[in-house]
Structures are given as C-alpha cells and as structure tokens.
Amino acid sequence: MGEKPFSPQNFGILLFLAGFFWIIAAITYSRIQEFEGETDGGGNAVLVALKKLSLLKSDEAFRLFVITRALFLCAVLAAPFFVILAQQQAESSIYLLGLFILAGGFADFTSSIFWGKLSDISSKKAMILGAIISTVLSFIVFFLDTFFENIFSIIWLMPLIYFILTVGYQGIRIGRKTYLVDLAGGNKRTDYVAVSNTIIGIVLLFTGLIGTLSSVIGLNGIILLLAIIGVIGIVLAYKLPEVQEEV
C-alpha cells in the first residue's frame, strides 16, 4: 500500500516546498527598490492611538466607521465555524482542508479586481455589499444545518460556501481600507489608522470568548449570532457618509 495522502512524510514535503517558496518570495522582495519616506512627526502607533482616542468622541463619522468595522468582523469570525461544521459532518476530511485553501485563494484572486474597482466608485457600497454576502451566507448555513441533517457531509458544499464567504469578506476588507483612507485625508490618516487598528485589536482579543458559547448554543447558534451582528453592521454602514478620494 502507498502512503496516505496526508501522511507525516507528505506533510514534510509540503512544509519543505512552502519554506522554499517563502525564500524565493523573500529574494524577490529584496530586489524591490525602496525609496525613503517622510518621517517627520512619526511615532509609536500604540502611543499615537492612545493620545488620539478623543477622535472617537469628536469625529462622528470616524466613530461610526470604527463601530461598523468591528461589527463586520463577524464575516471573518464565521469562517472557522464553517470549517469546523464541515469537518464534523464530513465522512472523510482528507481532502477537505485542501478544498478550503483552494476556495479561499481562488476567491481572493478572482474578486480583488472587482472590489477594487467598486471601492474606487464607492467604498461604502463595497463594504455593504461584501457584508450582505457574508451575512446572508451565515443565515443560509444556519438554516441548512438546522433543517437538513448532515447536509455538509457533501464534501464540496461547504468549500463552495466558503469561497463565496471569502469573496464577501474581500469586499469588506478592501472597502473599509479605501473608506478609511478617503475619510481621513491628508495628515489625519495616520491618526485614523492607528486608533482604528488599536480598537479592532482590542475587540479581537475578546472575540475568542465567542467560541465558548458553542457548549451553550452550539455551532449553528454561534453562526446565527454572527449573522445577526452582521445585520446590525449593515444597518450602521448605510448611515456612513459617502467619501471620495482627494485629488
């Protein structure tokens, strides 16, 4: 008998190849010509963020953006629960991980251009559309798992859903990056990015507690909760002002 597809030996080969390509990537990046940037007024990002937290009080549009961005984390938080749900029901999970990796990579590759162009037109709409896709998928997964027993034992179904989820999250990610840059403009961008990333980092520290709810409401209950949070985020996103890049 031959080796199993995911035997320790084959994992070793995959890790070796991954390391090899990382080295190739590092060599490639080292050949990029880098120009000196502006350093006046630079500082530690965390300290800058702490000093500028007052922006959340004084700048209504920025405050609403940060809250909306935090709520839109539901899209990326739902992904691991989708994977766990599929693993629990799959009769054979040998190829499942590979399918998820392919689905995620292909989604990033095929959707980035679309989201980039839409963000240039309206980064707000890109965020909202991406969030709608992700949120609707969470409701669909909850419905399927609740009313169709072992539906995700169909090995290709969840990777397909994961592909669409990743497409949606790309819209959120690219849209919110573009929105923040356009909202801030000029010298305020550093402050906005520092404060926003710090707040999101703090939120992420507590999102691990969501997993503890699985013993109470189950995996599909967590997915439903994240979908509801997504709906709240979408409602708030509609209240964000439209912004355009400064020319």
- Domain borders along the chain are 55-237
pLDDT in single tens digits along all 247 residues of the chain: 444 555 566 667 777 888 888 999 999 988 888 776 555 555 555 566 666 677 788 888 889 999 999 999 999 899 888 988 888 877 666 677 778 888 888 998 899 899 999 998 999 999 999 999 999 999 999 999 988 888 888 888 889 999 999 999 999 999 999 999 888 766 777 788 888 888 888 888 888 777 777 777 888 889 999 999 999 999 999 999 988 765 4
Four-residue CA torsion sign, 151, 154, 159, 164? negative
Cβ pair 222, 82 in contact under 8 A: no
CA distances, 204 to each of 34, 52, 89, 199, 208 (Å): 32, 20, 28, 9, 7
DSSP for residue 10? H
Distance of CA 165 to the CA centre of its chain: 9
Is this prediction's pTM over 0.85?
no
Q: Could you say which of 3.30.420.40, 3.40.47.10, 1.10.645.10, 1.20.1250.20 is the CATH number of the domain covering 55-237?
A: 1.20.1250.20
Cβ pair 192, 184 in contact under 8 A: yes
Cβ pair 130, 168 in contact under 8 A: yes
Cβ pair 145, 220 in contact under 8 A: yes
Q: Would you tell me how many other CB atoms lie within 10 Å of the CB of residue 88?
A: 13
> CA torsion angle for 192, 195, 200, 201 (degrees, to 10)?
130
Structure tokens that stand for 174 in this block: 């690219």
147-183 as b/e, with b when 16 or more CB fall inside 10 Å? eeeebbeebebbbebbbbbbbbbbbbbbbbebbbbbb
Tell me which amino acid residue 81 is: F
